Amino acid sequence: MLESVEQGLFWAATALYVVAWGWHFAGWKRGSVEYTGTAVGILWAGWLLHLGMVGLRWYRAEHVPMLSEFEFVTFFALLVFGCFLLFAVREQNRMLGVFLVPVGLILMAYAAFMPKDIEPELSIFKGFLLQFHIVTTLLGYAAWAVTFAASICYLYLERKADKNPGLFDRMAYRAAFFAFAFLTLGIITGALWGDRVFGQLWFWDPKETWSFITWLIFMAYLHARYTLEWRGRRAAILAIVGFAALVFTYIGVDLLLPQIHGVAAESGAMPAGPTQ
């Protein structure tokens, strides 16, 4: 019974996200504040259903729902949509949804094809450190998705003589600061957890290495903006490069490179999703 309710909430939230993106797109094309306002309202409804699904999953599993691939990806999507809603409070920020909502939708579509069985929680997962590592890492990724979408908005509006894209340039910078801070915490806590469980802080595993490369790109972006005073197009292009590195770290490494994260996940020693 509860499993059916959980799946119903998943599909209802996904459907509302799709409708919300349609309203965002229509509002963008028509220049309509009413359309974009409606889109944000629909997105809030979908996000609350999504939050309810995660809460129900937590209740059913009796542990934090971030162990299986399905749980990991749906939680990531929840954070992406949540970050958008945080940055879309102001009316003029709502164009962001045209480019950011699809990131969350791709995650939901990805999760739809994953096994949805609940996996038992092993004793090594019960500590706070691993959970904090996963949450902070995903918050960093979600915040950088905002930087990416805002940079796309900037590059689009830059071509319009009657538009001022400066708002999205500033938004990208603010989101990047949070992304860097959260990813830093995620990498540090992941290393500490690895030391506690495996007796070693760092393995130079492909997942860890690419997490570090992504972190360096995030740092380079902030350094270029703060020290070199990069603004506008150059900063936006670097933000897109950072997002490409993030996607490769999150998905590409799992598909293309052998790694201790993947081996440990298969053996039950680590969460199935990427953890750094």
17 vs 102: CA distance, rounded Å = 9
Cα of first residue to Cα of last residue in the chain, in angstroms, is: 35
CB 32 within 8 A of CB 38: no
Give the closest residue to 82 by CA, choosing from 39, 50, 130: 50
Quick: pLDDT tens for 184-217: 999 999 888 888 877 877 777 888 888 899 999 9
The predicted model scores a pTM of: 0.86
Query: Helix or strand or coil: residue 32?
Result: coil
Average pLDDT along the chain = 85
Once rounded to an integer, what is the mean pLDDT over residues 249-254? 78
The rounded Cα 99 to chain-centroid distance in angstroms is 14
| CA-angle at 243, arms to 238 and 247, nearest 5° | 150
Band of the pLDDT at 269, cuts 50, 70, 90?
very low
Residue 267's pLDDT is: 41
**One-letter identity of residue 18:** V
DSSP classification of residue 35: H
Give the closest residue to 141 by CA, choosing from 264, 13, 248, 47: 248
Whether the pLDDT of residue 24 is over 80: the answer is yes
Band of the pLDDT at 222, cuts 50, 70, 90?
very high
Cβ neighbours of residue 124 closer than 8 Å, sequence gap 6 or more: 130, 197, 269
Whether the pLDDT of residue 94 is over 80: the answer is no
